């Protein structure tokens, strides 16, 4: 059975915590889906984690569509959420509606919800606004907390079905989760949110550097390096292919 928006709401009501992970390709999506991850996010973080960009800003709508389609083909049960990349909605509400429709500002959220496109909102550190925010910095400290809280309430009122809270003090994340009726998904927002999300490359230890809020659960970068070094050595010595891996 496919996970729905109603499931997320019922989990919040029941106090049931859940996990979300990013996915950018078919095999990863298939693995995560079969492992029981209920929500997969095809984030514009694909720019830094897959496409080799310095940040999320160069990611195009066509690239997001390409990766979202691949992930959607790999799942049977998980909900798939696709990011709208930089400048796919900032130019006008009409552009936002057109681009969001291809994938499946408060005014935009309201309009999308009105025409039946579910919206997962995002506040706090929003990578698409990284230059305007002065870099990758914690948001909502001190007097700025009230503004972030107001944004959360406004997005809920506009009709967002859930909201990602990124890089903010833990007490603010917990406060937002308590005050909102919609599910909150934290990434660097403390343990008081309804759900937690991580970038899959960080979780697997593929990236050389991991943010403070992320946890590497394995060192896949070293595992891959070791496997490749063994293959190269076997080829150089003639040990591969051996009889077991050769047709007669």
- Residues known to be catalytic: 166
Q: In the chain, what are the helix, strand and coil shares in percent, each to the nearest 5?
A: 45, 10, 45
User: Taken in order 129, 161, 185, 165, is the CA torsion positive or negative?
Assistant: positive
Q: Helix 170-179 crosses helix 144-158 at what angle (to 10 degrees)? A: 30
Q: In what order do the strands lie in the sheet with 184-187?
A: 79-82, 39-42, 18-22, 195-198, 184-187, 162-166, 120-124
The encoded tokens of residue 65 equal 């569509």
Distance of CA 40 to the CA centre of its chain: 7
Q: Are 102 and 63 in contact, with CB atoms under 8 Å apart? A: no
Distance, in Å, from the CA atom of 190 to the CA atom of 192, rounded to the nearest integer, reads: 6
């Amino acid at each position: 059975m496919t996970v729905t928006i109603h499931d997320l709401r019922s989990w919040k009501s029941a106090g049931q915590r859940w996990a979300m992970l990013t996915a950018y390709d078919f095999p990863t999506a298939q693995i995560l889906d079969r492992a029981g991850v209920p929500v997969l996010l095809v984030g514009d973080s694909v720019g830094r984690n897959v496409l080799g960009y310095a940040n999320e800003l160069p990611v195009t709508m066509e690239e997001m569509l390409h990766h979202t389609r691949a992930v959607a083909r790999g799942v049977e049960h998980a909900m798939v959420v696709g990011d709208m990349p930089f400048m796919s909605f900032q130019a006008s509400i009409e552009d936002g509606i057109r681009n969001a429709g291809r994938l499946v500002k408060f005014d935009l959220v309201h309009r999308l919800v009105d025409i039946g496109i579910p919206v997962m909102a995002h506040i706090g550190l929003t990578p698409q606004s990284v230059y305007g925010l002065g870099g990758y910095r914690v948001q909502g400290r001190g007097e700025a907390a009230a503004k972030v809280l107001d944004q959360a309430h406004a997005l809920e009122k506009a009709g967002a079905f859930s909201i990602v809270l990124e890089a903010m003090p833990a007490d603010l994340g917990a406060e937002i989760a308590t005050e909102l009726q919609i599910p909150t998904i934290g990434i660097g927002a403390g343990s008081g949110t309804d759900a937690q999300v991580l970038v899959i490359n960080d979780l697997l230890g593929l990236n050389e550097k991991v943010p403070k809020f992320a946890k590497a659960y394995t060192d896949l970068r070293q595992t891959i390096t070791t496997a490749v070094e063994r293959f190269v050595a076997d080829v150089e010595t003639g040990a591969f292919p051996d009889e077991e891996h050769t047709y007669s």
